């Protein structure tokens, strides 16, 4: 019997006659012995699960008219996601920069550059500066302990690893049995 | 009788021309294997259903990029495998085990035998869950989807020796897990 036929019998491997066929084949075939010999019976008869009856209908209902249209839609959505992410990054970075300037120079400094706090643009700049200042402070407060903790934990790990990696001292011989 | 590969290629080409009934035929042909792969990988019926839908949508969307010189099923399994691995990476670490007995077959078996078989399959699924994702994937592709070594090589991008090594270790791990649960002598 050929290997492929034996493989197709796995599904009913709990039948004694089939098991004898498989066992006899394995005894004479190195390739099957390698693969099936060590295989638990449970894996010889893998159970397949039935998909839900409405699965195909749900898949078909979600499809755009053609694959080309689907690809174009996917490309547009992906581009939109990238723009949104880039927009958020610019906003956060802008806030961080203006907050840092406000913290290092003066809160009204960015507003003064844009016509003073009396002007509409200046008021917006002041509001953004006040919103950005805590961001800088939060970043500073988080990053310093984070870097310090990483250095301490990393250093301790390296030290412990070196201790473990040192060669062991030879054991003291008992009753002069060393070398036996 | 038409060669299955030729029929698949014709279905792919018809789908690319906008014939949705051709893609429906592809879905009908492969929903079982794809759903099984997702179910065994994700160990959850709802996740498997969602994953199967997303896999077919991805296949449809990327069909323009499919190299028609390759075997379609291998490409499909490659998309499905990557999707399942991505899902597992995104998933929270706790895996729900509440619906393991979902849809186990065996129409002819009596109630006692059915219960025994169901129990065994649950145990197999639990043993399967103990494997690392990439080992589980290779074992499922081989034993549930019945793919050859070469096909698994194409699906996973691994070398043949890596596939054989992973399968060997996966069998050993499943056997160990079953033994630990008292299911093997």
- Residue A150 predicted with pLDDT over 70: yes
Neighbours of A42 (CB within 10 A): 23
Cα–Cα distance measured from residue A46 to residue B143, given in angstroms and rounded to the nearest whole number: 7
Question: Which residues does chain B have within 8 Å of residue A63's beta carbon, measured at their own beta carbons?
Answer: 20, 23, 57, 60
The answer to whether the Cβ–Cβ distance between B123 and A42 falls below 8 Å is yes
- Given B99, B127, B143, the domain boundary residue is B99
Q: Is A168 left (phi over 0), alpha (psi -120 to 50) or beta?
A: beta
Residues B146 and B90 in one domain: no
Residues 81-140 of A with CB under 8 A from B: none
H or E segment and range at residue A78:
helix A67-104
Q: What is the pLDDT of residues A70-104, one digit of tens each?
A: 888 888 999 999 999 999 999 999 998 998 888 88
- Assess B104–A contact: CB distance below 8 Å, yes or no: yes
Please compute the mean of the pLDDT values over residues A137-143 and round it to a whole number: 81
What residues contact residue B134 under an 8 Å CB cut-off, 6+ apart?
Answer: B85, B156, B166
The model carries a pTM of 0.66
Instruction: Give the nearest chain A residue to B18 (CA atoms).
Output: A66
Residues B1 and B91 in one domain: yes
Residues B75 and B131 in one domain: no
Q: What average pLDDT does chain A have? A: 80
Residues B116 and B80 in one domain: no
- Assess B102–A contact: CB distance below 8 Å, yes or no: yes
Please compute the mean of the pLDDT values over residues A19-26 and round it to a whole number: 76
Higher-confidence residue: B20 or B177? B20
Q: Which of B60, B72, B150 is the best substitution to test chain A (most A C-beta atoms within 10 A)?
A: B60
Q: What is the CATH number of the domain that holds B151?
A: 1.10.10.10
Residues B184 and B116 in one domain: yes
- Assess B113–A contact: CB distance below 8 Å, yes or no: no
Q: What is the pLDDT of residue B10?
A: 93
- Given B73, B99, B125, the domain boundary residue is B99
Neighbours of B104 (CB within 10 A): 18
Q: What is the pLDDT of residue B90?
A: 87
The answer to whether the Cβ–Cβ distance between A55 and B53 falls below 8 Å is yes
Q: What are phi and psi of B101, to 5 degrees?
A: -85, 10
Please answer whether residues B64 and B146 qualify as being in contact, where contact means their C-beta atoms are separated by less than 8 angstroms.
no
Closest to B143 (Cα-Cα) out of B116, B160, B118, B163: B163
Residues B40 and B67 in one domain: yes
Residues B71 and B148 in one domain: no
Q: What is the pLDDT of residue B76?
A: 96
Q: What is the pLDDT of residue B87?
A: 93
Residues B177 and B152 in one domain: yes
Question: Which residues does chain B have within 8 Å of residue A39's beta carbon, measured at their own beta carbons?
Answer: 171
Q: What is the pLDDT of residue A145?
A: 85
Cα–Cα distance measured from residue B47 to residue B41, given in angstroms and rounded to the nearest whole number: 10
Domain count along chain B: 2
Boundaries of every domain in chain A: 3-44, 77-163
Question: Which residues does chain A have within 8 Å of residue B124's beta carbon, measured at their own beta carbons?
Answer: 42-43, 46-47
The answer to whether the Cβ–Cβ distance between B146 and A7 falls below 8 Å is yes
Range in A56-65, A118-127, B14-23, B87-96 the model is least confident about: B87-96
User: For residues B58, B61, B65 and B71, what is the CA-based torsion angle, rounded to 10 degrees?
Assistant: 50
Its domain, for residue B55, covers 1-99
Residues B85 and B60 in one domain: yes
Q: What is the CATH number of the domain that holds B38?
A: 1.10.1740.10
Token pair for A113: 């550059």
Residues B69 and B133 in one domain: no
Please compute the mean of the pLDDT values over residues B66-87 and round it to a whole number: 94
- Given B99, B121, B139, the domain boundary residue is B99
Higher-confidence residue: B33 or A21? B33
């Amino acid at each position: 019997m050929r290997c492929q036929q034996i493989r197709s019998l796995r599904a009913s491997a709990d039948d004694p006659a089939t098991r004898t066929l498989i066992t006899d084949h394995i005894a004479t075939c190195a390739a099957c012995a390698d693969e099936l010999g060590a295989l638990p019976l449970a894996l010889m008869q893998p159970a397949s699960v039935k998909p839900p009856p409405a699965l195909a209908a749900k898949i078909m209902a979600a499809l755009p008219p053609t694959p080309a249209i689907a690809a174009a839609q996917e490309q547009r959505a992906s581009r939109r996601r990238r723009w949104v992410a880039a927009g958020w990054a610019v906003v956060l970075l802008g806030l961080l920069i203006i907050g840092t300037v406000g913290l290092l120079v003066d809160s009204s400094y960015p507003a003064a550059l844009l016509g003073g706090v009396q002007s509409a643009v200046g008021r917006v700049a002041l509001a953004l500066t006040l919103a950005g200042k805590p961001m800088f402070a939060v970043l500073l407060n988080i990053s310093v302990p984070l870097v310090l903790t990483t250095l301490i934990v990393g250093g301790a790990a390296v030290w412990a690893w070196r201790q473990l990696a040192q060669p062991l001292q030879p054991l003291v011989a008992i009753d002069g049995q060393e070398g036996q | 009788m038409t060669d299955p590969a030729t029929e698949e290629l014709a279905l792919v080409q018809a789908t690319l021309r906008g014939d949705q009934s051709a893609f429906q035929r592809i879905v009908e042909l492969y929903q079982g294997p794809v759903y099984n792969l997702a179910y065994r990988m994700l160990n959850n019926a709802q996740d498997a259903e969602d994953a199967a839908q997303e896999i077919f949508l991805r296949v449809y969307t990327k069909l323009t990029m499919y190299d028609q010189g390759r075997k379609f099923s291998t490409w499909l399994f490659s998309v499905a495998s990557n999707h399942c691995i991505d899902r597992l990476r995104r998933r929270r670490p706790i895996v729900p085990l509440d619906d393991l007995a979902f849809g186990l077959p065996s129409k002819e078996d009596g109630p006692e035998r059915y219960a025994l078989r169901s129990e065994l399959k649950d145990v197999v699924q639990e043993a399967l869950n103990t494997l690392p994702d990439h080992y589980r994937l290779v074992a499922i592709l081989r034993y549930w989807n019945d793919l050859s070594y070469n096909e698994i090589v194409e699906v996973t991008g691994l070398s043949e020796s890596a596939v054989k090594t992973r399968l060997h270790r996966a069998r050993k791990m499943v056997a160990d897990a079953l033994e630990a649960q008292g299911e093997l002598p």
